[in-house]
Homo-oligomer: A and B are copies of this chain.
Amino acid sequence: MARAGVTSERVTRAAAELADEIGFDRVTGSAVARRLGVKEPSLYAHIANARELKVRVALLALEEMADQAAAALAGRAGKDALVALANVYRDYARRHPGRYAASRFELDPETAARSAGPRHTEMTRALLRGYDLPEPDQTDAVRLLGGAFHGYVSLELSGSFRHTERSTDASWAWALDTLDHALRTHPARRAGG
């Protein structure tokens, strides 16, 4: 029989596609193997175990989002940048729900440190320079924005907003307006930004 040409990259890609199709929590080694046209034990030449499969999808998602965030932020500042970054997360989550769920997979500290996670923090911090917040307020604002973006996207994706008429696009725009306004008029903000 011809060899299938499995690599850890192809395994990861197949797992990511599967996650978007059937949900991250339903991704299994056997499903990935089936999709690649090999038997399940063959995967273990390329990945250590089933957990690593999920970790790899998480790392892929974090990196894809960071790349898109970097592209979206280029040449933007202030509210323009805030809206661009926020929309990267929201759009990514809608386009790739399984990968987005994977990006919330709990990584061990060393893996998390080497992941694209810190890039997200850095980019949010860079964006906030346009709001002229002193430390430690800038750190607090990074956490608020990270939480607000993720929380909104996560609740919208899980259907928590479906019971109400109001368009989720409109609420999203309102939320970003409000966050921008809050950061611009925050008491901690230095005078004369």
Which residues of A are in contact with B by a Cβ distance under 8 Å?
25, 104, 106, 109, 112-113, 117-118, 121, 136-137, 139-141, 143-144, 146-156, 158-164, 166, 168, 170-171, 174-175, 178-179, 181-183, 185-188
With contacts A140-B166, A152-B147 taken as known, whether A159 is within 8 angstroms of B25 at the C-beta atoms is no
With contacts A136-B166, A143-B175, A170-B136 taken as known, whether A159 is within 8 angstroms of B113 at the C-beta atoms is no
What's the minimum C-beta distance from A35 to chain B, rounded to whole angstroms? 23
Kindly list 8 other residue pairs between chains A and B, CB separation below 8 angstroms, not including A140-B170, A147-B153, A178-B182.
Answer: A117-B160, A139-B164, A143-B155, A144-B174, A147-B152, A147-B156, A148-B148, A151-B152
B144 and A155 contacting across the interface, CB-CB below 8 Å:
no
Listed from nearest, the 9 A-B pairs whose CB atoms lie closest are A151-B151, A147-B152, A147-B151, A182-B182, A140-B174, A150-B151, A144-B175, A140-B171, A148-B148
What's the minimum C-beta distance from A180 to chain B, rounded to whole angstroms? 9
B139 and A150 contacting across the interface, CB-CB below 8 Å:
no
One of B137, B160, B163, B171 near A144 (C-beta < 8 A): B171
A164 to B120, CA, bound (A): 14
With contacts A151-B149, A170-B136 taken as known, whether A106 is within 8 angstroms of B159 at the C-beta atoms is yes
